[in-house]
Amino acid sequence: MFKDKGIYNTINYWKENHPNINHLGISSTESQSEKYDFIFNKNGIKIGIINFNGIVVKNMPKNKKYMINTIEISKVQNCIGELKKQTDFVIVCMNLGGQTYYSPNKLQIKMVRALI
């Protein structure tokens, strides 16, 4: 079940306790949700990071869909393509699994192959 309070609490925790650490994958505002990536520059090496969620969130209100970066293959592919132009490396973080499964299913394998 969708609980936006948990998202707000998580974002506020990181802002208040670790303001130098960026978070990806969740957003508290619609405009913030349009930023899917983070570019980290260390010693002249640029690393792009994106984070998406493939788990279906039950009962998510339509007006709150921006709060979680859900996987849409074309959107993720576009993000990867844009990051490749700006960085030396791209890290893609994906939450694809369920809580009681230990192996990927056919859809998850297909999605990851499409992204590679």
The two tokens of residue 52 are 């998406």
Distance in angstroms (rounded) separating the CA atoms of residues 92 and 84: 12
The pLDDT tens digits for 2-20 are 678 888 888 999 999 999 8
Q: Distance between alpha carbon 59 and the CA centroid of its chain, in Å?
A: 20
pLDDT in tens, 54-68: 766 667 778 888 888
Of 74, 94, 92, 73, nearest in space to 83 by CA: 92
Number of structural domains, the chain?
1
pTM of the model: 0.78
pLDDT recorded at residue 17: 96
What is the overall mean pLDDT for the chain? 85
Range of the structural domain that residue 91 is part of: 4-115
Dist. CA 14–CA 18, nearest whole Å = 5
Range of 14-18, 100-104, 108-112 with top mean pLDDT? 14-18
